[in-house]
Structure 1
Amino acid sequence: MTRVRTPADIAARSAERLRAPDRVRSLRDGFHRETFVLDREAARAKARDILDRFPKAAYMTEVESWRELSDGRIEFTMRRLPTAD
């Protein structure tokens, strides 16, 4: 049995997604984003792991943004499509 969704149901679901934790989120553009804060070498390894698991050709995976923090760690956000076509 399928449940009929009302506009209020859809609005509540959308609002919940916008309140998702900072580390993992999907915005209205359909991309899945994960933010990490790691030591430099661990950040490189993590980015490489994600790029290997979700190839750019299929998932449009990329490092969306990155910065070096004052303590030397790297904060970066990976962006990809949730599924491949």
Structure 2
Amino acid sequence: MARVPGPPPLSGLKRRIADHRAGQKAPKSTFVRETFCLSREEARRKAREWFEAFPKAAYWTEVESWRQLEGDRIEFTMRRLPTAD
């Protein structure tokens, strides 16, 4: 009667996966980000400055995140590509 082999040992595969993951670094973002904490009017003005200096069509400029804080202050992060290439 023929012997049915069991599943292959996984220790070698697990070691290779662990080695691969250890060699990886966190992916570096290609975007330039800057975070601001300004009054509502100043925040609007700063966002307009970014969109005028770095047009959305060329730099993919956007308000990445924002939140309202106490005292009518806005904390927000602007994001854009470093160049318009």
Q: Same fold (TM over 0.5)?
A: yes
Query: What is the one-letter code of the residue matched to 2:28?
Result: R
Structure 1 window deviating more from structure 2 (40-49 vs 27-36): it is 27-36
Cross-structure match for 2:32: 32
> RCO higher in 1 or 2 (8 Å CA, sep ≥ 6)?
2
Q: Which residue does 1:82 correspond to in 2?
A: 82
- Specify every segment of 5 or more residues in structure 1 that has no aligned partner in the other structure, as ranges: 1-26
Residues 24-63 of structure 1: matches in 2 within 5 Å? 28-63=28-63
- Number of equivalenced pairs: 59
**Unaligned 5+ residue runs, structure 2?**
1-26
User: Residue type of the partner of 1:28?
Assistant: K
Q: Deviations over 1:18-57 (max 9, x none)?
A: xxxxxxxxx7121000000000001000000100100011
Q: Which structure is larger by alpha-carbon Rg, 1 or 2? A: 2
After the TM superposition, which segments of 4 or more aligned residues of structure 1 sit over 4 Å from their partners? none
